[in-house]
Structure 1
Amino acid sequence: MFKPVQVAIGLRYLRAKRRNGFISFISLASILGIALGVTVLITTMAVMSGFQKEIRDRLLQFAAHATVVADGVPMQDWRHALEVAKQDPRVAGAAPFIETEALLSGPRKQPAMVRGIEPALEDEVSVLSQKMKRGAADTLTDGSYNILLGQELALWLGVDVGDQVTVMLPEFQGTPMGAMPRYKRFTVSGVFEAGYNEIDRGLAVVHMADLQRVLRMDGASGVRLMLHDMDRAYEVARDLALQLPGFYRVSDWTRENANLYHSLKMEKTVMGILLSLIILMGAFTLVNSQVMLVTDKQADIAILRTLGLTPGGVMQVFMVQGTLIGIIGTVLGFIGGVTLTWNLERILDGIEALFNITLLPEDVYYITGLPTDMQTPDVVTTLVIALVMSFLATLYPAWRAARTQPAEALRYE
């Protein structure tokens, strides 16, 4: 098969047994260094993406993909808004809600967000009924004044199913004794666990009609939307708001949880940059091996030059060899990273069984496994970084080889 002379010589140098075994060892170390860096980076990015997905999914079990909220006044015609939303093929479910901050009082006091829902529609936008630890979600009926508490919130209040809590609202009403905050006593009819601390500790759920009477409110705060594609949440909510009379505020899950969303994204980015340094170390090892190879092949370079090979051709010979080393290391790293990611849970279970320890105990962490989500863009980015670093690492040694003077190199041969 025809190959350019530069490629043929570069391949021959890669396969040939070198006089200096230390150079071969350094080349092998370069391959292993790049492979290790790629393996670690692929696996770490998969774990970071897995944790992001796990946290996002747990958060969105109770937080809708998008919300459309009436601006300043209650949304009285929320049923019409639901009909308009459900006509949109991008919408998987819709439900009305009321939200207000309150101080909950039992044996102890704790502030929380109180959400009024329509139980018959809530399953379209959340998994509340599936996350009940004690009691049931269908105990929320009109006029029952029952309340569902997050597990951590119930613990902080010191109450359980059957106990009563007082919901004190940040609104005042006139009484013979002066202005008094509005409050109502509710009965705890269930405890849920979302697996996300901000929800388990900061959310209480009641029937929307009960909360309307307490607030003396006619209508809903707005509607919550569950979509088939959460990445289009803001677009869908905006389109819905434009079809409704009046003025509305539109928000989606990325804006309502902007700090968490951006911090997770930044953490993954920083971790990727730091772990790329491992690949960079392998690239520096590749520079060392190529420089030593150029020194070892001074006579060969001189002979090639006298036979008519141009300095650019000499440079290409060593660039071919160095790039191939980088490609081999990258491919091995890709195989190792994919294999390690797919078997990471088994490896974790094996370590726990071998040393009789629990790395992620249930009483400390909400996430007791090691979730992974290997995303194609992350893998491709890792491979490109490794290949680019390997290519750049060949430039200086190849340039140094191209500057070799035949007369000087052959003087002592």
Structure 2
Amino acid sequence: MADAHEPGAARGRRVVWWIAARYLLGGRSRLLTGTARSALGSTGLGVAAMVVSMALMSGYTNSVENRLLQSGPLVVTPLGEAAGDLASADDTAGRLRRLPGVERVGVTLAGQGALASRGNPAGVDVWFRGVLPGASSFGAGEEELERSAEGLDAVVLGRQLLRTLGVADGDLLRLTAIVGSPSGQPRFAYRTLRVTGAFETGFSEYDRSYAVLHRDTVAALGAVGVVLEVATSQGADPSLVHRSIEELVGADALVTDWRRGNRDIFAALRLQKWGLFLVLGLIVLVSTFNIAAALVVMVRERGRDTAVLGALGLGPRRLRRVFLVCGLSLGAAGTGLGLLLGSLVSAIITRYELVRFDPGVAEIYFISSVPFDVRALDLLAVAGFSLLVVGLACWWPARLASSLEPARALHWE
């Protein structure tokens, strides 16, 4: 029995929780027990589906970001008077090589144009890079970039671009490059090139649209852009190297990485993640009807008990709280079960790499297997959403219980 000196509000809360526990654990009705179990199971499965889907999108996004940072170079683009100045870029590269965490710096000439072959005369739009042998992230060596005996310049293509053009080593290509002019108007420059090799970065966007030439070949075409590609050392933090470069070059250059260069992809992934959250949230929303149904059954079967409690002085507000506590307890139990189940399934899938891609598909999605990354913030979002919709679903049955008149309820019982 509660202490007589205990504040009335605290005693009232304890009474509400005690009655709710008796209603939930009384077990007198098979119908109520079955409905409650159905509500518990459906809520748990809906929440588990949300957790797994959020873990999938978080894991995939994080894996792609890490791979972009680790395998892709930091790109430094000179601005202002230094833009397009090869001598200034070489001087900047020398200073960048002295920074901690920097393994290699390549000064690259960058341009855009089209490549046409005998099998694809219409041509394919490409981005081309002019590099020194061994200084590019695309891995073109000295032999591959060497001019042929007949005086033709060499070109190394991305693996998918090679297939699109339908060419092999030794075949000829026609390059149409867009370059600048002293008047500021763009003009076209043409070169016949010989295919000497192919590279593969693992990123479909680059393997299907990039071509690598010798830097002297690109310089001879005319005015093109100058960029510096900075490769980080093994084990170095790319973010720290990024900040060091920004401090060194200041406002004279723009520093970007492959993650920022592909920000549209990550924006789409974030949108897809929260779109899945809302779509799978409909499963939880539907499951709340089971909780509401369980409360309606409880209100009908506990009508006599509720009437007696009302006659003994338990007000409508506390009666409403009793049934809200019952509904939210069911919802919280189902939510907790779903969070545990979803986290367990995600851990098993990650541990045994159950979601794997074939090599061809892996080229498109950037990774061979998807880790499921369960994040605390995602769990809080799922739990908050679940409890919110459960609370809203419980409001009407609880209000129905609090509106029962004790005399009328006892009369019909």
User: TM-score scaled to structure 1, two decimals?
Assistant: 0.78
Query: What does residue 297 of structure 2 align with?
Result: 292
Q: Deviations over 1:343-387 (max 9, x none)?
A: 33689969xxxxxxxx95544563485513314122321122122
- Hey, what's the Cα distance between the residues in 2 that align with 1:248 and 1:35? 52
Change (3 A) 1:47 1:309: same
Query: What does residue 355 of structure 1 align with?
Result: none
Q: Give, in angstroms, the shift of residue 277 of structure 1.
A: 0.7
Q: Give, in angstroms, the shift of residue 337 of structure 1.
A: 0.8
- Hey, what's the Cα distance between the residues in 1 that align with 2:388 and 2:267? 28
Match of 1:116 among 130, 135, 154: 130
Maintained 8 Å contact 1:71/1:249: no
- Hey, what's the Cα distance between the residues in 2 that align with 1:50 and 1:205? 33
Query: What does residue 90 of structure 2 align with?
Result: 79
- Hey, what's the Cα distance between the residues in 2 that align with 1:86 and 1:396? 69
Task: Give the counterpart letter for 2:158 in structure 1.
Answer: G
Match of 2:165 among 154, 157, 160: 157
Query: What does residue 349 of structure 2 align with?
Result: 344
Determine whether 1:405 maps to 2:405. yes
Identify unmatched segments of 5+ residues in structure 1. Answer: 130-135, 174-179, 351-358
Structure 1 window deviating more from structure 2 (292-301 vs 204-213): it is 204-213
Query: What does residue 132 of structure 1 align with?
Result: none
Q: Give, in angstroms, the shift of residue 5 of structure 1.
A: 1.8
Change (3 A) 1:120 1:364: closer
Match of 1:139 among 139, 143, 153: 143
- What SS does structure 2 have at the residue aligned with 1:343? helix
Q: Give, in angstroms, the shift of residue 333 of structure 1.
A: 0.7
Maintained 8 Å contact 2:70/2:238: no
Task: Give the counterpart letter for 2:203 in structure 1.
Answer: Y
- What SS does structure 1 have at the residue aligned with 2:412? coil
Query: What does residue 5 of structure 2 align with?
Result: none
- What SS does structure 2 have at the residue aligned with 1:4? helix
Query: What does residue 392 of structure 2 align with?
Result: 392
**Within-5 A mapping of 1:140-219:** 140=144, 145-171=153-179, 181-215=188-222
- Hey, what's the Cα distance between the residues in 2 that align with 1:210 and 1:61? 29
Q: Give, in angstroms, the shift of residue 286 of structure 1.
A: 1.0
- What SS does structure 2 have at the residue aligned with 1:17? coil
Query: What does residue 272 of structure 1 align with?
Result: 277
Query: What does residue 323 of structure 1 align with?
Result: 328
Structure 1 window deviating more from structure 2 (230-239 vs 269-278): it is 230-239
Q: Deviations over 1:115-152 (max 9, x none)?
A: 12345444xxx4x34xxxxxx64535576743321111
Q: Deviations over 1:231-259 (max 9, x none)?
A: 799977754542x6xx5455554553343
Task: Give the counterpart letter for 1:394 in structure 2.
Answer: C
Identity among equivalent positions (%) equals: 25
Change (3 A) 1:25 1:297: same
Structure 1 window deviating more from structure 2 (226-235 vs 146-155): it is 226-235
Maintained 8 Å contact 1:139/1:146: no
Q: Give, in angstroms, the shift of residue 287 of structure 1.
A: 1.4
Q: Give, in angstroms, the shift of residue 9 of structure 1.
A: 1.7
Query: What does residue 26 of structure 2 align with?
Result: 16
Determine whether 1:32 maps to 2:41. yes
Structure 1 window deviating more from structure 2 (328-337 vs 253-262): it is 253-262
- Hey, what's the Cα distance between the residues in 2 that align with 1:395 and 1:140? 73
Task: Give the counterpart letter for 2:127 in structure 1.
Answer: M
- What SS does structure 2 have at the residue aligned with 1:409? helix
- Hey, what's the Cα distance between the residues in 1 that align with 2:219 and 2:230? 21
Change (3 A) 1:236 1:58: same
Identify unmatched segments of 5+ residues in structure 2. Answer: 3-12, 182-186
Q: Give, in angstroms, the shift of residue 288 of structure 1.
A: 1.7
Please provide the CA RMSD for this pair. Answer: 3.7
- What SS does structure 2 have at the residue aligned with 1:68? strand
Q: Give, in angstroms, the shift of residue 329 of structure 1.
A: 0.7
**Within-5 A mapping of 1:237-386:** 239-242=247-250, 248-249=253-254, 251=256, 253=258, 256-344=261-349, 361-363=358-360, 366=363, 367=365, 370-376=369-375, 377-386=377-386
Maintained 8 Å contact 2:358/2:368: no
- Hey, what's the Cα distance between the residues in 2 that align with 1:51 and 1:189? 35
Maintained 8 Å contact 2:343/2:374: no
Task: Give the counterpart letter for 1:306 in structure 2.
Answer: A
Structure 1 window deviating more from structure 2 (162-171 vs 300-309): it is 162-171
Match of 1:100 among 108, 111, 125: 111
Maintained 8 Å contact 1:306/1:406: yes
Structure 1 window deviating more from structure 2 (51-60 vs 196-205): it is 51-60
- Hey, what's the Cα distance between the residues in 2 that align with 1:312 and 1:93? 71
Structure 1 window deviating more from structure 2 (299-308 vs 148-157): it is 299-308
Maintained 8 Å contact 2:72/2:257: no
Change (3 A) 1:232 1:265: farther
Change (3 A) 1:53 1:118: farther
Structure 1 window deviating more from structure 2 (362-371 vs 185-194): it is 362-371
Q: Give, in angstroms, the shift of residue 28 of structure 1.
A: 1.1
Aligned residue pairs total 384
